[in-house]
Amino acid sequence: MKTSRVGRMVQIITALQCTQNNRLRDLVEMHRVTRRTIFRDLEELKKNGVPYQYNAKTHSYSINPGFFLPPINLNHKEAMSLLLLAYKVRNHLNIPFKNAVLLAAMKVENNLPTEIRQYCGAALQNISIKPNPQARIDLLDGLFTQLQEAILKKQMVRIRYYLPRERTAIVFDLSPYHLMYCGHTWYVLGKSGARNGVSAFRLNRIKELTTLEKCFIQDEQFDIREYLGRAWSMIPEGRLYHIKLRFLPEVAHDVAEVQWHSTQIVTFENDGSAIVEFRVDGLNEITWWILGYGDQVQVLSPKILQEKIIEIARKTVRINEGKSPST
């Protein structure tokens, strides 16, 4: 069975740690790949922080045995779940410190009993994860680290923040409270002088971030669960709505299979359609979710949401007919 690149790198780590005289030709013969492939794997290990050494006298590679963890007692399921997250999930989520995740997984896998390591390696080759769209965040590790440290030390930050609609950037000071991943991107929640109360700002729209010497006093009443309340996603609007939707039979079961919101109630009709109800804070976020189902969903209440959906649909028709959305 052909070994995956990650699996091969773990095997290289094991060889370099256990034996001091690993020449290049030994690694090539061991893995039945080209010299160029081994060089590429070694470079990847270096990039991810694995401190191997090259001995010019013996022309061999090795790793200090003290670098890795002592043997750990994990069963098949525990090891499998950790490696699944590290090797398969990390590249499909916008998580910071991806190289650190990979290195940690290699350390864990390298110290697993041979039987469990082989089991996990074989199983992971038959598992794939189809990624969801993610917002691109340049320098995520740096932004995340700065904000995380500012939150812990209660230091204010100065942000240059891009506003897409205005096509310009504004500069403001922020007291950061919380980092949160939602939908397709990361947000920092906090208080700024430009807005009343706690607001959410996307990390992918932060163009510059400077940590200030000024400290802030966090609102003791701030609680992330209370802040989110019954928002559809993560932006509460300060008003609760009882939302009632009818999904046609073609999509009814697909919708009902997912717990979209904590207040969700589903009732199936005799014709196979589903009545789905929510108690949601705000309409903007759920509006775009409803529109994603096109002609397979009917808004039964509230009337204000019906009108909102109808107006967007009319504008969509006008735009696709080549007309101005305001005519």
Own/partner contacts of 16-23, CB < 8 Å, gap of 24 or more, are: 16/52, 16/61, 16/62, 16/63, 17/62, 17/63, 17/65, 17/67, 17/68, 17/110, 19/62, 20/60, 20/62, 21/58, 21/60, 21/62, 22/60, 22/61, 22/62, 23/58, 23/59, 23/60, 23/61
Residue 70 confidence (pLDDT): 62
The label of the residue with tokens 């204000």 reads 304
Cα separation of 173 and 212, whole Å?
A: 9
What is the reported pTM? 0.70
Successive 10-residue mean pLDDT values, the chain, 327 residues:
63 69 79 82 78 80 69 83 86 81 83 87 87 79 93 95 92 94 89 81 94 88 85 90 97 96 96 96 95 96 96 91 75
- Quick: pLDDT tens for 225-256: 888 889 999 888 889 999 999 999 999 999 99
pLDDT in tens, 104-121: 888 788 788 888 988 998
**Domains of the chain in sequence order:** 1-132 (1.10.10), 140-228 (2.30.30), 240-320 (3.30.70)
Q: For residue 288, what pLDDT is reported?
A: 94
